[in-house]
Amino acid sequence: MRSSLKSQRNGACATLLAAASVVLASALTPAQAQEPISPPADTPYRTEPAGPFHIIDNIYVVGETLHLTNYLITTDEGHILIDAAYEESVPKIQANIEELGFNVEDIRYLVGSHAHSDHVAGFARMQELSGAEIVAGRRDVDVIESGGVTDFRSDGSLQWPPAMVDVIIDDGDELRLGDTVLTAHATPGHTKGCTTWTMTAEENGVQYDVILFCGANIGDAALPVIGHPKYPEMASDFDTTFEKLKTIPVDVYLGGHGYWFWVEEKLARRAAGAETNPFIDPEGWQSALAVFEQRYLDRLADER
Ligand code: ZN
């Protein structure tokens, strides 16, 4: 049964916006920012199987490599899986979940960050295994359900096994399971339905704001940004998205690919006995956001 989460809405988003209005007033310039740089194809980051690892509180990475950072969020009432990578990734994600001592049958929600093959191509297979409901941003629903045929970047060919979306998400919706509340922020541009999720996590009695960033890269296949025939509002979507992201309070910065948040460096610091959790990294988020925005502005400048 398809449903919308409108009935679960409350005023949390407005509260967040008000509380966060000062957070990004001093955004870093790109020159000061640490660049999230995509590692080459033949590096272990992309090729080596990654075991599951803990981030904070009830959040784990269960992706097949450090590049494909799918997240398992565990609760007493079942679990949430953020993204399922490729169809062939699914058995590896399952093995990682089982290595942590959890079961795929206990996944209640399969949440899509955005409708690209490296995030949702495994949805149909993972849904078969888990019986979970598929959750996605409203403007990505047709893309997921068509197997990528309606992707604005594509030539209309099938990219992945189509999967039906059970729960359609709008900006400000909350997905609740057990004690966990995931809040959706519509952050279109990378895809039309790109959805960034936030939640809180606790460590040593302190509450931290967690972001699961949908992404803001612009691949060559998505060009032009201005006047794209299948996505004419792309630039205005990106403008709105960057302004919105600057208002979100972030302590723990996570996203769909490990290099976005320097996962190798953080795991190395943890292995070396870091006293504080390296994934608590508000400055890293501000650096990354500034770089992603500058790359976008550079694209715009190129097209003008
Ligand atoms: Zn993508």
The pLDDT profile of the chain, 304 residues, written as one tens digit per residue, is 566 664 443 333 333 333 333 334 344 443 445 899 999 999 999 999 999 999 999 999 999 999 999 999 999 999 999 999 999 999 999 999 999 999 999 999 999 999 999 999 999 999 999 999 999 999 999 999 999 999 999 999 999 999 999 999 999 999 999 999 999 999 999 999 999 999 999 999 999 999 999 999 999 999 999 999 999 999 999 999 999 999 999 999 999 999 999 999 999 999 999 999 999 999 999 999 999 999 999 999 999 9
- Name, in order, each residue with C-beta under 8 angstroms of 258's C-beta and a sequence gap of 6 or more: 45, 66, 67, 69, 264
pLDDT of residue 65: 98
pLDDT of residue 4: 66
* Residues whose beta carbons lie less than 5 angstroms from ion ligand 1: 116
Q: Tell me the C-alpha to C-alpha distance, in Å, between residue 59 and each of 21, 128, 149, 252, 289.
A: 27, 23, 32, 11, 22
Write the single-letter amino acid at 301. Answer: A
- Name, in order, each residue with C-beta under 8 angstroms of 183's C-beta and a sequence gap of 6 or more: 12, 13, 16, 172, 173, 174, 197, 198, 199
First and final CA of the chain: distance in angstroms? 46
* Rounded distance from Cα 116 to ligand 1 centre (Å): 5
* Rounded distance from Cα 272 to ligand 1 centre (Å): 32
* Rounded distance from Cα 206 to ligand 1 centre (Å): 32
* Rounded distance from Cα 203 to ligand 1 centre (Å): 30
CA 176 to chain CA mean position, Å: 17
CA distance 111 to 297: 29
* Rounded distance from Cα 276 to ligand 1 centre (Å): 31
* Rounded distance from Cα 219 to ligand 1 centre (Å): 9
* Rounded distance from Cα 160 to ligand 1 centre (Å): 14
pLDDT of residue 1: 53
DSSP string, 154-178: S-S---S-----SEEE-TT-EEEET
* Rounded distance from Cα 30 to ligand 1 centre (Å): 22
* Rounded distance from Cα 284 to ligand 1 centre (Å): 20
* Rounded distance from Cα 285 to ligand 1 centre (Å): 18
* Rounded distance from Cα 114 to ligand 1 centre (Å): 6
* Rounded distance from Cα 143 to ligand 1 centre (Å): 12
Domains and CATH numbers, the chain: 3-13+37-303 (3.60.15.10)
* Rounded distance from Cα 129 to ligand 1 centre (Å): 24
Could you give the angle at the alpha carbon of 152 between the alpha carbons of 148 and 158, nearest 5°?
A: 25
pLDDT of residue 264: 96
CA distance 261 to 225: 25
**Token duo for residue 285:** 């988020």
pLDDT of residue 190: 98
* 152-155 LR contacts (CB < 8 Å, sep 24+): 152/192, 152/222, 152/228, 152/230, 152/231, 153/219, 153/221, 153/222, 154/221
* Rounded distance from Cα 196 to ligand 1 centre (Å): 12
pLDDT of residue 12: 37
* Rounded distance from Cα 275 to ligand 1 centre (Å): 34
pLDDT of residue 168: 98
pLDDT of residue 34: 80
* Rounded distance from Cα 118 to ligand 1 centre (Å): 7
CA 277 to chain CA mean position, Å: 20
* Rounded distance from Cα 27 to ligand 1 centre (Å): 25
**Predicted structure pTM score:** 0.89
**Token duo for residue 275:** 């006293």
* Rounded distance from Cα 154 to ligand 1 centre (Å): 13
CA distance 297 to 277: 33
DSSP SS3 for 31: coil
